[in-house]
Amino acid sequence: MESIKTKKLTIGISSMALFDLVESNKVFETEGKEAYCRYQIEREDECLSPGVAYPLVKKLLGLNERLPEALVEVILLSRNSADTGLRVFNSIREHGLDIKRAVFTSGATPFVYISAFEIDLFLSTSPDDVRKTLEAGHAGATILSGKGSSSIYKDQLRIAFDGDAVIFSDESERIYKEKGLDAFTKNEQQSAKMPMSGGPFKSFLAALHHLQSHFPEETSPVRTALVTARSAPAHERVVRTLRSWNIRIDEALFLGGLQKGEFLKSFGADIFFDDQTTHCESANEHVATGHVPHGIANE
């Protein structure tokens, strides 16, 4: 096992999140598996264009160039067969991505290998695979296609998170949904000094924080933000919870219900994670977005 000091940040990614496979997928959906296999084999020397998560992966792997040893690994978890996956691996080589490990499952869900690879975050375009990942206790998000633009910060990886049901459990959100804003606010004031339980992204945030610890804070190539619909006085419990976990968040935006998209654009997020589809739609107009189908909002 790796020591705590050298523990890598490990990201699992599907081939459809990494590359633009929209045309290939149309063949699969309209003509079937055999036609899809022929289509990919005939084009295995044609390089695939970058997909929605490609810029994020490029930045993640680029962090290794600023470290004495590689502490970030990206692993491909694909529903392709090894045969059709050859085009994907050829494209990885052509784009100069340092991805060496891969699983090709010939249509079966690849999420079963997440634990074996000790993956900290799984990104996929398959909501079903992501749900299974979350149910198994791992961080996962469905990458949304859309207008998400690349970050204005070329030399810094910027990742933004929602709070409740993402970094934190959905215990407070349940009170809000079931009893309203006043009951939620009262509960958060009464529980201000009581840390919340961790949500599905707590361990990923901790791994990211560990990676940040290898750089001076003022020149770190990784910056994080909490972007939450909470407002004062419900902010205190959030601050105290992160403090109790000994996890640093670089920026915290308490928006009091405002749309998140413009703020995420201002932060320059490479990706934003949220459990609520409405927030994801707002965010996806401006930045790459991962929907976390977890908690009461997704029941």
Confirm whether 150 is domain-assigned. Answer: no
Do both 167 and 282 map to the same domain? yes
Range of the domain at 75: 9-143
CATH number (domain holding residue 268):
3.40.50.1000
Number of domains in the chain: 2
Do both 211 and 125 map to the same domain? no
Do both 216 and 283 map to the same domain? yes
State the pTM of this model.
0.94
Say if CB 206 and CB 139 are below 8 A apart. no
Confirm whether 115 is domain-assigned. Answer: yes
Do both 81 and 200 map to the same domain? no
**Which of 99, 121, 143 represents a domain boundary (last residue)?**
143
Do both 115 and 177 map to the same domain? no
Whether the pLDDT of residue 82 is over 80: the answer is: yes
Confidence band, pLDDT 50/70/90 cuts, at residue 148? low
> What pLDDT, on the 0 to 100 scale, is given for residue 234?
87
Residue linked to tokens 């409405």: 278
- Residue-wise pLDDT for 189-238, tens only, equals 999 999 999 999 999 999 999 999 999 999 999 999 999 999 888 899 99
**Which of 116, 143, 170 represents a domain boundary (last residue)?**
143
- Residue-wise pLDDT for 206-218, tens only, equals 999 999 999 999 9
**Distance of alpha carbon 184 from alpha carbon 89, whole angstroms:** 49
Do both 127 and 168 map to the same domain? no
* 269-298: average pLDDT: 94
Tell me the Cα Rg of the chain.
Answer: 19
Do both 56 and 183 map to the same domain? no
**Which of 92, 109, 143 represents a domain boundary (last residue)?**
143
Confirm whether 3 is domain-assigned. Answer: no
Confirm whether 45 is domain-assigned. Answer: yes
Catalytic residues: 162
Do both 196 and 269 map to the same domain? yes
Say if CB 230 and CB 168 are below 8 A apart. no
Confirm whether 277 is domain-assigned. Answer: yes
Whether the pLDDT of residue 2 is over 60: the answer is: no
Do both 96 and 185 map to the same domain? no
Confirm whether 72 is domain-assigned. Answer: yes
* Element (DSSP H or E) covering residue 38: helix 33-42
Do both 107 and 172 map to the same domain? no
Confirm whether 2 is domain-assigned. Answer: no
Confirm whether 151 is domain-assigned. Answer: no
Give every CB contact of residue 262 below 8 A, 6+ residues apart in sequence: 286
